[in-house]
Amino acid sequence: MTDNHSASHEAGTQRHRLEGPQKHIIVFVLSMVLTIIAFAAVASGDLNKMFVIFLLLGMAIVQVFAQLAFWMHMKDRGHLFPIIGIVGGAFVVVMLVALALLWTWW
């Protein structure tokens, strides 16, 4: 059993060594580009307000998934419970916002 455990640990270590910083650099550059585009869209003032809102929301969603996948390593195996927690928390937040809007506007 010890040999099996050490073999799986070595395989996991090997996989992390092969990953390297390339993907982290790509995600960092993607985050910077999305931030610059968001700043430019808001600072220009020439774009339609609803278009800017949807653009910002779309870029925020892309950035959240990129951050979770590469910086928080949610793409790796063994992260089921944190993913369930994040999805459950997001569901609770969406429901609370929807209920608050319903309560105040109705």
* Domain ranges (residues) in the chain: 2-75, 78-106
CA 69 to CA 51: how far, in whole Å?
A: 27
Distance in angstroms (rounded) separating the CA atoms of residues 61 and 1: 43
Please, how many CA atoms are within 13 Å of residue 62, restricted to the half-sphere of its CB?
Answer: 16
Question: Is residue 10 pLDDT above 80, yes or no?
Answer: no
Note the pLDDT of residue 95: 96
Q: Is the dihedral of CA 68, 70, 73, 77 positive or negative?
A: positive
71 CB-near residues (< 8 Å, 6+ apart): 24, 27
Q: Across residues 65-79, what is the average pLDDT? A: 76
Compute the average pLDDT of residues 10-38. 76
Identify the pLDDT of residue 54.
94
pLDDT band at 96 (very low <50, low <70, confident <90, very high): very high
What is the pLDDT at residue 72?
74
Model confidence, pTM: 0.59
Distance separating alpha carbons of residues 34 and 66, to the nearest angstrom: 11
Alpha-carbon span 6 to 77, nearest angstrom: 17
Asked which of 44-53, 77-86, 89-98 is least confident by mean pLDDT, the reply is: 77-86
Q: Is the pLDDT higher at 73 or at 49?
A: 49
Number of helices (H), then strands (E), in the chain: 4, 0
